[in-house]
Structure 1
Amino acid sequence: MKLVVAKCIGLYINLLGYIAPNDAARLAISLFSKPRKGKHTQEAHDFLNTAFQEEVFFNGTSIMTYRWPGIHETILLVHGWESNAFRWEALINRLRLKNHNIVAVDAPGHGKSGSKSFNIIDYSEYLKVVTYKFNVQAIIAHSFGGMATIFFQYKYQVPLLKKIVLLGAPSNLEDVIKRYTKMMGFNTIVTNALKAFYLQHFGHSPEYYHAAKFTKAIKTRGLIIHDPEDHIIPYRDALEYQAFYPNVKLITTENLDHSLKSEAVDQHILEFIAD
């Protein structure tokens, strides 16, 4: 049913593209960047209220941070699309037992953070601000949070950041947009207008943002965890990271799909952080 609705919306935007391609691109981008989920439930509020909460600002937009102090290295937890900091509850509890200093964020347009929209390039800039503010030494990131992490570390090469964990992370923005345009059934006019939007607003077309290739220039140690049954981000993206990332280990899971929520995954992460 959701796919049928998407195709109907796509048909409308395709027709608009013949008349006003820029308007069609803006509408397509708006649908692509406006999360429908990601707000906190009462359970999330209850858990996140156990943390010190502080807003960090970039270009006038706030990003909410949650901090559980500890005496060991600082670890930043970065969620993906239509999620929020609460996704890390189980891992946070395990990291607290190890007395790590933990920071988690709500992405723009998610949780308690500002903005009504989300794009992965801006997200990477927010992560840079948070990383410097809290002297982050390791990042654990899920899905689009992983891609945003690679974008910012490639651009800024933060020397204090020693370890990166990528959970079900997409390897390049061009394929993400291809999957979106295929799902929506967009025609060539709308697809080209989408690419032009990225070039106009960020200075590069989507094909430039190839996170896996960016890792060739990243010295930070990496751990990739991905499941072959991931129905959101294909397993081949993990293999692409493995092919380019010079200092990385790939762990393949079974029957965990895209969420990768399990005690076994958390144990792999804890061992990597401790190593």
Structure 2
Amino acid sequence: MDLSTGLVRTALNGTARVSPRLAGRWAIDLFWNPRSRVPVKPAEEPVMRQAERRELTVGGTSVAVYRWGTGERPVLLMHGWMSRASRWSPLVRALTDRGYSPIAFDGPGHGDSGGRGSTVVEFRDIALRLQAEHGERGGFAAVIGHSIGGLSAFFAVRGGVHADRLVSIAAPADFDCLVDGFRARFGLGPWAAPELRRRIEHRLFPGEPDPWPRLSATHQADRLTLPIMIVHDEHDDMIAPEQSGRVMAAFRDRADLLVTRGLGHRRIIADPQVIGAVLDFASATDPVG
């Protein structure tokens, strides 16, 4: 545990002894808001310079949007937590070479977008806006998400985003996984779970009783009839591979699974073999199975 994490742990758990609600307010702010914004890597700059860039406003927040290609066969890319659209550069290059038109965005609080942090609801709302503006025949050839972007992809497709195919890379099956991971990372006591859950419910679905099933990739699995591809590394140290196993169990014969080794959580989206498999899946016309 580094020094800053240790200080946060001590401060939050100490405050919780006096006022769990006050500690919960600080904890949820830390949960929602990335502590820093990652920069564009030098290797990503050539691809990003080729993008048609613009901004749109969603929920009062300015969102940076990037588009490549001719506009035909649009593919929506959703990045993960503390990431940005530029991390998709290797896949963007491969998609455009295959005739697709990738569309990516920096989530609120990430990259060049405004705001302090993102939610799956905001990712869905951004996806709906982009679908209205760029979706071919009212939808995308594929929606591809990494980490929390993968969970957001499921949430968006159930929430009105149309796609021929869905690809989820190194993503959790349930939002609970993110709450548990946050608690474990900072060593927070039992007080944290009910406080975080209460505040998450209030922000995402105010007044709705028990919204947590909606925050699962497996929620109403029978409603998602599109082909699905799940990609996960067996050595992922941020999102346990068992999370993808739960998604596979829910979708059975409608999903393909690719398990990698030695790529971890972040490098997996730039791996040439993963990119090749995702391209083959996105362009396949035969039934999955």
Q: TM-score, normalised by structure 2?
A: 0.87
Post-superposition offset of 1:45: 4.9
List aligned pairs for 1:106-185, cutoff 5 A: 106-135=106-135, 136-156=140-160, 158=161, 160-185=162-187
**2:71·2:134 contact (CA, 8 Å) conserved in 1?**
no
Unaligned runs of 5+ in 1: none
In 2: Cα distance, 1:94 partner to 1:244 partner: 30
The question of 1:249 aligning with 2:256 is answered yes
- Pick closer, same or farther for the CA change 1:219–1:51 going to 2, 3 Å: same
Residue aligning to 1:55: 55
Find the counterpart in structure 2 of residue 240 from structure 1. Answer: 246
Unpaired runs of 5+ residues, structure 2, are 285-289
Where does 1:1-275 land on structure 2 (aligned, <5 Å)?
1-2=1-2, 5-41=4-40, 43=42, 44-70=44-70, 72-135=72-135, 136-156=140-160, 158=161, 160-203=162-205, 207-208=212-213, 209-246=215-252, 247-259=254-266, 260=268, 261-275=270-284
d(CA) in 1 for partners of 2:149 and 2:241? 17
Structure 2 Cα separation of the partners of residues 186 and 238 of structure 1: 26
Alpha-carbon distance in structure 2 between the residues aligned to 1:241 and 1:42: 32
User: Aligned with 1:31: secondary structure?
Assistant: helix
The residue identity in structure 1 corresponding to 2:61 is: T
1:165 alignment partner, SS class? strand
1:113-164 CA distance string (max 9 Å, x none): 11012233322322222233211231111111001111121232x3x41111
Deviation at 1:36, TM superposition (A): 3.1
Greater mean deviation of Cα atoms: 16-25 or 259-268: 16-25
* Amino-acid identity (%): 24
User: Tell me, what secondary structure is at the counterpart of 1:94?
Assistant: helix
Q: How big is each residue's C-alpha offset from its partner over 1:236-275, in whole Å with a ceiling of 9 and x where there is no partner?
A: 0111110112521111112111121211101001101111
Query: Partner of 2:287 in structure 1?
Result: none
Give the 3 Å change call, closer, same or farther, for CA 217–188 of structure 1 in structure 2: same
Mapped to 2, the partners of 1:14 and 1:121 lie a distance apart of 29
Secondary structure of the structure 2 residue equivalent to 1:211: coil
Instruction: Give the superposed CA RMSD.
Output: 2.0
CA distance in 2, matches of 1:216, 1:85: 31
3-state SS of the aligned residue for 2:37? coil
State how far apart, in whole Å, the 2-side matches of 1:36 and 1:74 are.
32
* Greater alpha carbon shift after TM alignment, 114-123 vs 167-176: 114-123
Cα 1:6/1:206, change in 2 over 3 Å: farther
Distance in 1 (CA, whole Å) between partners of 2:72 and 2:203 is 40
**Whole-Å Cα distance in 1 between the matches of residues 168 and 149 of structure 2?**
8
The amino acid across from 2:279 in the alignment is L
1-structure distance, mates of 2:72, 2:255: 23
- Using the size of structure 1 for normalisation, the TM-score is 0.91
For 2:102 and 2:126, how far apart are their aligned partners in 1?
Answer: 17
Q: Residues 217 and 7 (structure 1 numbering): CA distance in 2 closer, same or farther, change over 3 Å?
A: farther
